[in-house]
Structure 1
């Protein structure tokens, strides 16, 4: 059974991330989403990005503070770029969604081949995986803010006494457009920082969740195409009410069967061409963001490892950075796992063609099958920029590279 809805959680992520097209709603919600989109964009990509640039000046005198701040900037700048890309490519995203749920590419079941179940299983996987991903990402700023809130409650009054500053309590270095030298004003600063940090999570994850769904459904379509090729003859026989073991020396001896097979092979070939073309479009769309994402993850992991190595093992700072690094592992795993799975699924299409009962087919059908097999010898894969394929091998290289840079940096003394 094919899914009834394909992208419900993507729409939720777009709404939370401020990139939802409000023209699809009416009444109150239309204006609410317009206001929310503008509010989030002004608060996060514009205001907070400027604030982080300003804070570079204040953190440059301490290597500890500077590296910690740079790690945070990498995340937010990559998120800003993703948001802009989503806003500029709304129509392309709608077109991609339309193709991935197009009913023209549905096939009937035959024995173990259950195309509806393939798509349904990928839908369920995405629903669970992406919810866990968003939950994990949301915990990062919330846990940091909770730790800061506890410190604020216990020692916040030390601000008025001059023994502590608001920056000593807040989990992130931040410039505020108002004074924060008193206990009362620091409360407002705490709230002023908490809101954009949480909203930044939704802004960043909207792009990642969309990629996960698109990549997973591409994989599902390649698996459906594989199964459709391997069973095309049997399914044609069933349609014509013929036994599945019905054999001919040449299909031309049964004109109706010959025409049915030609039509089915053309349909599957067209399906394959559309999915490959869709993959190529998504590859060009995601190539540069994936490169920036990989570079930002390297920078952030180095920052997290560096801060963790300088803090007591069970301290709040070490825990916060550990959780941050865990979220990055999750994010990087999402991209690399999906990239590997697409490549493997695409390679399996040739196996499906080879397994098909095509011996009695006409020359035109055999030629079409051979061309499809030859096309699938070329790898279908996403790339990190144009430098490396997006797969689990690249995942390991990124982690190894991050640790190598961290060991070099750890030799430096803190100012």
Structure 2
């Protein structure tokens, strides 16, 4: 029986996005590639994550008297500050994530297909899911930036407002959002330069944020893939080791060997879960807290913006992007929990009736271990699941999900009401 061909390099899209952000060095050993990339990475880190993030914080002091601009600047600052935190996190803890990626991509625990068990197809399915959500989030990030920067860019390029006699149209006074500038932008040329000065770091933030978030997402995605493959591996243990007219003792010996391999595989996957949880939980807490605040304040900004204005659609796209960011965390965290919770059922479905004591003991130990839920958490405060985010969670988790959903809606509305009242 031929071994199924697993697709290699399942994190290829994540690597390319991080490479665009200056966080993943090219594979080539050529100095003509390595040296320019190192210069690019240093410039991006110093200019975008250090200098520009600092100027965004400084901008808060210029806008605190205007509630709309102040809230918008706080939202952008929180988003980009979390991006800078993720870049810093990568420099200190990136080696842990790279090790986890290598473990998940390792061919050590590849299986042969049998009957309805097709591990290579499962692997390809999860790879496709990872690609779809990664590219979808990247596209949404581009839509968010384009909705803010394309309209003024098109206007300033093809239909520039009049400028003359030392006076400028009000158009040149405002950028997509207020930020401290080292130069004035009251002329058409200076305005286009200011747009580029502001948009450049925005796209850099987008790639670092999308790269780091989708990497975390995809690691959880392939943890779920391994758990799904393990379900089939446990269930088809006997079918995969039988080869014809072997003696029953030979079959039992092979089944014991296969069971031990499955248990080692499961222990490796659980170790990956634990390491990912330990290294990422506080970053997840920071992102979830920032996103909840941003979603609430975006609701306020949308409520105070005319529905037919460009700003309204820009705010809507931004709010959708932030919601989708948190959705990715919850969806794939929920997948890990769900696949782990179903493991005992698949172990029980194995043809174990005529197996020896050693096989049955390993079964019982493994099933007992998997009764303890596997969760990715938000800083150990709450499990990272889909209970409060999608309708399907109501079907899988029961009425508690509805109560939690209404509690979050109530909390969000309370924050929104407080902000709304301050503007009266």
| TM-score, normalization by structure 2 | 0.90
One of 198, 210, 214 as aligned partner of 1:209: 214
Q: 1:246 is matched with which residue?
A: none
Once the two structures are TM-superposed, the CA of residue 28 in structure 1 deviates from its matched residue by: 2.4
Distance across 1 between alignment mates of 2:177 and 2:245: 70
Once the two structures are TM-superposed, the CA of residue 302 in structure 1 deviates from its matched residue by: 2.0
Q: 1:247 is matched with which residue?
A: none
Structure of greater relative contact order (alpha carbons < 8 Å, 6+ residues apart): 1
One of 120, 132, 149 as aligned partner of 1:128: 132
Distance across 1 between alignment mates of 2:104 and 2:418: 46
1:189 corresponds to 2:183? no
- Cα 1:86–1:167, aligned 2, differ >3 Å: closer, same or farther? farther
1:175 corresponds to 2:180? yes
How is 1:89-108 mapped onto 2 (pairs within 5 angstroms)? 89-108=93-112
Distance across 2 between alignment mates of 1:314 and 1:155: 22
- Cα 1:394–1:80, aligned 2, differ >3 Å: closer, same or farther? farther
Q: 1:70-129: per-residue Cα shift (whole Å, max 9, x none)?
A: 111110111111111112223222211111111111111111111111111000111122
Distance across 1 between alignment mates of 2:265 and 2:324: 32
- Cα 1:224–1:136, aligned 2, differ >3 Å: closer, same or farther? same
Structure 2: gaps (5+ residues): 390-404
| C-alpha RMSD of matched pairs (Å) | 1.9
1:35 corresponds to 2:44? no
Once the two structures are TM-superposed, the CA of residue 282 in structure 1 deviates from its matched residue by: 0.4
Once the two structures are TM-superposed, the CA of residue 23 in structure 1 deviates from its matched residue by: 6.5
Structure 1: gaps (5+ residues): 244-252
One of 405, 410, 415 as aligned partner of 2:420: 410
Once the two structures are TM-superposed, the CA of residue 48 in structure 1 deviates from its matched residue by: 1.1
Distance across 2 between alignment mates of 1:9 and 1:403: 37
CA contact (8 A) 1:70 1:303 kept: no
1:164 corresponds to 2:170? yes
Q: 2:143 is matched with which residue?
A: 139
How is 1:3-402 mapped onto 2 (pairs within 5 angstroms)? 3-22=7-26, 25-153=29-157, 154=159, 156-158=161-163, 160-164=166-170, 166-168=172-174, 170-238=175-243, 241-242=244-245, 254-395=248-389, 396=405, 401-402=411-412
Once the two structures are TM-superposed, the CA of residue 333 in structure 1 deviates from its matched residue by: 1.3
Once the two structures are TM-superposed, the CA of residue 2 in structure 1 deviates from its matched residue by: 1.4
- Cα 1:158–1:412, aligned 2, differ >3 Å: closer, same or farther? farther
Once the two structures are TM-superposed, the CA of residue 24 in structure 1 deviates from its matched residue by: 5.1
- Cα 1:23–1:117, aligned 2, differ >3 Å: closer, same or farther? closer
Deviating above 6 A after TM superposition, structure 1's stretches of 4 or more consecutive aligned residues are none
CA contact (8 A) 1:137 1:201 kept: yes
Q: Secondary structure of 1:387's partner?
A: coil
